[in-house]
């Protein structure tokens, strides 16, 4: 049986909700509710109760029960775990040579010639056994768990043929079965055009639609379907064909959109009721207007814009237009070799000029929405899964994004169990 946890004397319990919302939009993003000098009660893996310490007596928490482990969080903050709604963390090999080449000023074509890019990761993945791929990937999972992430979306897309795409998706399923982190899987067969289809993209799209999607969906290996809908990759027409096929098989759309150009990806995502459209460096008035009133979460990936030196999306304009914003890491070997969501919060503040409250909403409840789990994750609410972390002794919640290089997480609790504790 799961032990019950009672966390007392919490300096500040952050992101509490009495009436849970599925997402937070516009001006509401600059508000979070939190309770000073609080307690949090966890039972059977769920958040059962929380409140102010002085109100404890009347709420009759059974703290004398020997089955209840008591944690004294004096001086510490408790946050809901981060939700990271966009990663490619199942991969083998790294691409630091490409990174150095970029620093030296080499072009994308030169880099590809020297073995860079998505196709290079696909080649390495092809040569890696499923067990090795799992071993490489689980190391990254353990790393993100210890840095505060409690739910993660992971994409395929370094396979680019049926066998290797399935290998990736099986590794994702194995991660799900072996670690307490919440996992959602996305099929991204349309991540890049393999060399042999370079002059016949439509044929590769046919392969994705006719051979890959049915096997992936029938094997229940993915929750979502994604396409890299951008200049030089897949067109709006390709994207529509793939999304329609995926939706027919019960997969929900999520899109890579508008990273390299005004690609039409955002509008296409909205048209197919995508759960999220991600990247969005090229977002103008037309794109913003299409998102207004939709159910699609605009998701920004400041780690990759930072790493690649890309322009930043117009976040203030988007929030002023009443949109919600989620932030995710895009953890991948080519454009964002980090899954550190605390650093993503800092980039949100420093690069995107988002307020600390806005980034907290963006990495918790809104990112949970972007992976379809905000009913159960993304805030401190009664009945939600007890995924939380306790910080070190810090002065304020603003200190989290402010102290961008410090590890401030002391204790990680997932599904009501203590996973790691720095003493
Ligand atoms: O989200 N934009 C497309 N795909 C990845 C990059 C993947 C890679 O370079 O390996 C991204 O940034
Ligand atoms: Fe991505």
Q: Which of 306, 328, 335 to mutate to test the pocket of ligand 1 (most atoms within 8 A of CB)?
A: 335
Q: Which of 140, 128, 243 is nearest to 188 (CA)?
A: 243
* pLDDT at residue 24 is higher than 80: yes
How do residues 234-253 score in pLDDT, each as one tens digit?
999 999 999 999 999 999 99
Which residues are registered as beta bridge partners of 12?
A: 36, 77
* C-alpha separations of 203 from 2, 11, 206, 239 in Å: 52, 59, 5, 14
* pLDDT at residue 402 is higher than 90: yes
The four Cα atoms 342, 344, 347, 348 give a dihedral, to 10 degrees, of -100
- 413 and 419 Cβ atoms separated by less than 8 Å: yes
Cβ neighbours of residue 56 closer than 8 Å, sequence gap 6 or more:
8, 39
Average per-residue pLDDT in the chain? 95
Q: Which of 62, 53, 138, 47 is nearest to 388 (CA)?
A: 47
Q: Please report, rounded to a whole number, the percentage of residues in the chain having pLDDT higher than 90.
A: 89
Does the C-beta of 281 come closer than 6 Å to ligand 1? no
CA distance 21 to 17: 8
Does the C-beta of 300 come closer than 6 Å to ligand 1? no
Average the pLDDT over 331-342 and give the result: 97
pLDDT for 58: 64
pLDDT for 309: 86
Q: Residue 2 — pLDDT band, cuts 50, 70, 90? A: low
Q: Please report, rounded to a whole number, the percentage of residues in the chain having pLDDT higher than 70.
A: 97
- 26 and 288 Cβ atoms separated by less than 8 Å: no
Q: Which of 91, 102, 118, 168 to mutate to test the pocket of ligand 1 (most atoms within 8 A of CB)?
A: 118
Average the pLDDT over 148-164 and give the result: 98
- The ligand placed nearest to the CA atom of residue 259 is 1
Cβ neighbours of residue 347 closer than 8 Å, sequence gap 6 or more:
302, 303, 306
* Residue nearest (by alpha carbon) to ligand 1 atom 8: 334
SS3 content of the chain, % helix, strand, coil (to 5): 40, 25, 35
Kindly report which listed range (59-68, 69-78, 261-270, 331-340) carries the lowest average pLDDT score.
59-68
CA angle 359, 277, 167 (to 5 degrees): 105
Q: Which of 91, 188, 308, 330 to mutate to test the pocket of ligand 1 (most atoms within 8 A of CB)?
A: 330
CA angle 284, 331, 88 (to 5 degrees): 95
Which residues are registered as beta bridge partners of 417?
A: 414
CA distance 69 to 71: 7
Kindly report which listed range (16-20, 302-306, 378-382, 419-423) carries the lowest average pLDDT score.
419-423
Q: Residue 316 — pLDDT band, cuts 50, 70, 90? A: very high
Does the C-beta of 306 come closer than 6 Å to ligand 1? no
CA distance 325 to 361: 8
- 364 and 378 Cβ atoms separated by less than 8 Å: yes
* C-alpha separations of 377 from 182, 308, 406 in Å: 9, 31, 25
pLDDT for 7: 96
* pLDDT at residue 1 is higher than 60: no
Q: Residue 107 — pLDDT band, cuts 50, 70, 90? A: confident
Strands 76-80 and 388-393: antiparallel
- The ligand placed nearest to the CA atom of residue 229 is 1
- The ligand placed nearest to the CA atom of residue 123 is 1
pLDDT for 60: 66
Average the pLDDT over 284-295 and give the result: 98
Cβ neighbours of residue 287 closer than 8 Å, sequence gap 6 or more:
258, 262, 266, 267, 280
- 34 and 51 Cβ atoms separated by less than 8 Å: no
Alpha helices in 10-129 (DSSP H): 56-59, 96-103, 108-113, 117-127
* pLDDT at residue 407 is higher than 70: yes
* pLDDT at residue 423 is higher than 80: no
Does the C-beta of 372 come closer than 6 Å to ligand 1? no
- 169 and 185 Cβ atoms separated by less than 8 Å: yes
pLDDT for 142: 98
- pTM of structure: 0.97
Does the C-beta of 299 come closer than 6 Å to ligand 1? no
CA distance 104 to 315: 31
- Which domains are seen in the chain, by residue range? 4-80+380-421 (2.30.40.10), 82-369 (3.20.20.140)
* pLDDT at residue 74 is higher than 60: yes
């Amino acid at each position: 049986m799961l032990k019950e946890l009672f966390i007392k004397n919490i300096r500040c319990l952050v992101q509490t909700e009495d009436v849970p919302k599925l997402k937070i939009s516009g001006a509401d993003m600059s508000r979070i509710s939190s309770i000073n000098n609080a307690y949090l009660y966890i039972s059977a893996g769920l958040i059962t109760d929380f409140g102010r310490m002085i109100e404890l007596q009347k709420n009759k928490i059974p703290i004398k029960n020997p089955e209840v482990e008591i944690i004294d969080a004096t001086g510490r903050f408790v946050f809901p775990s981060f939700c990271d709604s966009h990663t490619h963390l199942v991969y083998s090999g790294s691409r630091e040579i490409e990174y150095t080449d970029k620093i030296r000023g080499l072009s994308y074509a030169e880099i590809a010639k020297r073995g860079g890019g998505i196709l290079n990761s696909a080649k390495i993945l092809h040569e890696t056994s499923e067990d090795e791929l799992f071993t490489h990937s689980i190391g990254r999972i353990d790393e993100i768990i210890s840095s505060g992430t409690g739910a993660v979306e992971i994409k395929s897309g370094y396979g680019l043929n049926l066998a290797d795409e399935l290998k990736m998706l099986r590794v994702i399923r194995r991660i799900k079965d072996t670690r307490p982190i919440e996992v959602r899987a996305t099929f991204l067969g349309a991540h890049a055009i393999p060399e042999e289809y370079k002059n016949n993209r439509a044929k590769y799209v046919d392969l994705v639609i006719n051979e890959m999607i049915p096997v992936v969906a029938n094997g229940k290996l993915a929750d979502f379907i994604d396409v890299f809908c951008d200049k030089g990759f897949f067109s709006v027409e390709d994207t529509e064909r793939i999304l329609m096929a995926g939706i027919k098989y019960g997969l929900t759309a999520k899109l890579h959109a508008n990273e390299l150009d005004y690609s039409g990806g955002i509008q296409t995502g909205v048209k197919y009721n995508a759960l999220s459209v991600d990247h969005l460096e090229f977002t103008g008035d037309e794109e913003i207007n299409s998102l207004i009133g939709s159910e699609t979460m605009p998701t920004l990936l400041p780690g990759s814009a930072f790493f690649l030196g890309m322009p930043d999306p117009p976040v203030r304009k988007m929030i002023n237009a009443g949109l919600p914003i989620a932030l995710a890491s895009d953890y991948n070997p080519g454009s964002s070799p980090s899954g550190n969501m605390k650093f993503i919060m800092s980039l949100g503040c420093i690069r995107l000029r988002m307020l600390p409250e806005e980034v907290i909403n963006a990495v918790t409840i809104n990112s949970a929405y972007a992976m379809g789990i905000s009913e159960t994750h993304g805030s401190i609410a009664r009945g939600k899964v007890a995924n939380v972390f306790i910080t070190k002794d810090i002065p304020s919640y603003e200190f989290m994004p402010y102290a961008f290089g410090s590890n401030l997480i002391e204790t990680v609790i997932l599904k009501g169990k203590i996973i790691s504790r720095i003493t």
